[in-house]
C-alpha cells in the first residue's frame, strides 16, 4: 500500500506539473478549433445575434472566386517555397558542418535572420524590392536591367515574398539539419574512407539515410507553416496587387476582422484545417516509411 501511495503521489505531482501546459493547449488551441467548427455553421457579424445556416457557408466557398484564387495562391506558395527552403537549409547545413576554422561565426551569422522579427524583415525587404529606389533595382540598373516591380507585378509578387521567407527561415532548418549531421558517428565516416568512398557517395549512402528523421520533421513542419502564411503578405503587399498574393490565411483575417463575417471566416479556417490535415497524413504515409530511428 505504501508503494502504491508513492506511485499515486508521483502521478499526481506529474499531472500538476503538466497542468499549465495542458490548460494552455486547451484554451489557446483545442477550444478555438472546436469553436471554429461550431461558428462556421452560423451567419454572424459580431454585432448581431448568430443565425444558424448549416453548411451554407461551405457552399458559398465553392463559388467564391476570391477564395478559390486565395486557395490557388496558397498551393502555389507551398509548391514553390517549401522545396527551395528545405534545399537551401540543407546546403547551408552541409557547409556549416565542414571542419573550417571560425565556422561558428558563420553558423551564428546564417541563423541571425531567424531571431529578427518577421515584421522588421518584411519592411526591410519592402524597401529592397521598391521599384523606384530599392537597392535591388539599383544593382540591376548597373547592368542595364530596367526596374522590376518585385511587389507590384502580379506575376512575380508572391515569388518575391517567397525568396524573402527563404532568406528569413533558412537558418532555422539549417540548425535542425546541422544537429542531425553532428549526431552521425565518426566511425561511419572512418569506415567509409577505408572503403575509398567518394564525398558524393558519403552524402547519398551515409548522411541522407541517417538524416531522414530530421528531413521528415522539417518537411512536415515547413509544409504546415507554409499553408498558414500571413504576416509577410500582410506587411509587404496587403494581398495585392489585385488578389495575386491573397492566401487563405490572409483572406480569413480579411473576412473576419475587416468584413466582420466571422461565420464565413471560420468556414474557410475549417477548410484550411482539413487540407493541412490531409496533406500531413499523405506526407506521413510516404515519408515515414523511409525513416529509420536508432534503438
Q: Which residue has the higher pLDDT, 289 or 148?
A: 148
- The pLDDT tens digits for 222-233 are 999 999 999 999
pLDDT digits (tens, 9 = 90+) for 136-163: 999 999 999 999 999 999 999 999 999 9
133: in domain: yes
Residue 95 lies in a domain: yes
How confident is the model over 61-71, as a mean pLDDT?
95
Per the domain annotation, does 26 fall within a domain?
no
Domain of 80 in residue numbering reads as 40-290
Q: Is residue 35 part of a domain?
A: no
Q: Name the domain count of the chain.
A: 1
Whether residue 20 is contained in a domain is answered as no
Cell representation of residue 152? 507590384
Residue 31 domain flag: no
Task: Classify each residue of 155-178 as buried b or exposed e, where b means 16 or more C-beta atoms within 10 Å of its C-beta.
Answer: ebbbbbbbbbbbebbbbbbbbbbb
**Per residue in 12-48, pLDDT tens?**
888 889 999 999 999 988 898 899 999 999 999 888 8
pLDDT at 1: 44
- Would residue 5 count as lying in a domain? no
Q: Is residue 7 part of a domain?
A: no
d(Cα 74, Cα 92) in Å, to the nearest integer? 26
Q: Which residue has the higher pLDDT, 74 or 194?
A: 74
Mean of the pLDDT values across residues 70-94? 96
CATH number of the domain that 228 lies in? 1.10.3720.10
Q: What does pLDDT average to over the chain?
A: 90
User: Residues 45, 51, 53, 56: what is their CA dihedral angle, to the nearest 10 degrees?
Assistant: -10
Q: What pLDDT was estimated at residue 102?
A: 86
DSSP bridge pairs for 185: none
Amino acid at each position: 500500500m505504501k508503494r502504491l501511495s508513492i506511485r499515486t503521489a508521483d502521478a499526481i505531482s506529474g499531472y500538476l506539473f503538466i497542468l499549465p501546459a495542458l490548460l494552455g493547449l486547451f484554451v489557446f488551441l483545442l477550444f478555438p478549433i472546436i469553436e471554429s467548427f461550431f461558428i462556421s455553421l452560423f451567419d454572424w457579424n459580431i454585432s448581431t445575434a448568430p443565425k444558424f445556416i448549416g453548411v451554407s457557408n461551405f457552399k458559398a466557398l465553392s463559388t467564391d472566386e476570391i477564395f478559390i484564387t486565395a486557395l490557388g495562391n496558397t498551393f502555389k506558395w507551398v509548391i514553390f517555397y517549401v522545396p527551395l527552403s528545405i534545399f537551401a537549409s540543407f546546403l547551408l547545413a552541409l557547409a556549416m558542418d565542414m571542419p573550417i576554422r571560425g565556422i561558428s561565426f558563420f553558423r551564428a551569422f546564417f541563423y541571425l535572420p531567424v531571431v529578427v522579427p518577421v515584421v522588421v524583415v518584411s519592411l526591410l525587404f519592402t524597401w529592397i524590392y521598391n521599384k523606384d529606389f530599392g537597392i535591388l533595382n539599383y544593382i540591376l540598373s548597373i547592368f542595364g536591367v530596367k526596374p522590376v516591380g518585385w511587389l507590384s507585378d502580379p506575376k512575380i509578387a508572391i515569388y518575391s515574398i517567397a525568396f524573402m521567407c527563404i532568406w528569413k527561415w533558412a537558418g532555422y532548418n539549417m540548425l535542425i539539419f546541422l544537429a542531425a549531421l553532428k549526431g552521425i558517428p565518426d566511425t561511419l565516416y572512418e569506415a567509409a574512407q577505408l572503403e575509398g568512398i567518394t564525398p558524393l557517395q558519403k552524402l547519398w549512402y551515409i548522411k541522407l539515410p541517417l538524416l531522414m528523421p530530421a528531413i521528415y520533421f522539417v518537411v512536415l513542419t515547413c509544409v504546415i507553416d507554409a499553408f498558414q502564411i500571413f504576416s509577410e503578405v500582410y506587411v509587404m503587399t496587403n494581398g495585392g496587387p489585385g488578389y495575386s498574393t491573397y492566401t487563405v490565411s490572409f483572406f480569413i483575417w480579411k473576412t473576419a476582422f475587416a468584413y466582420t463575417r466571422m461565420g464565413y471566416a471560420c468556414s474557410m479556417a475549417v477548410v484550411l484545417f482539413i487540407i493541412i490535415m490531409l496533406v500531413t497524413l499523405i506526407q506521413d504515409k510516404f515519408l515515414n516509411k523511409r525513416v529509420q530511428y536508432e534503438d
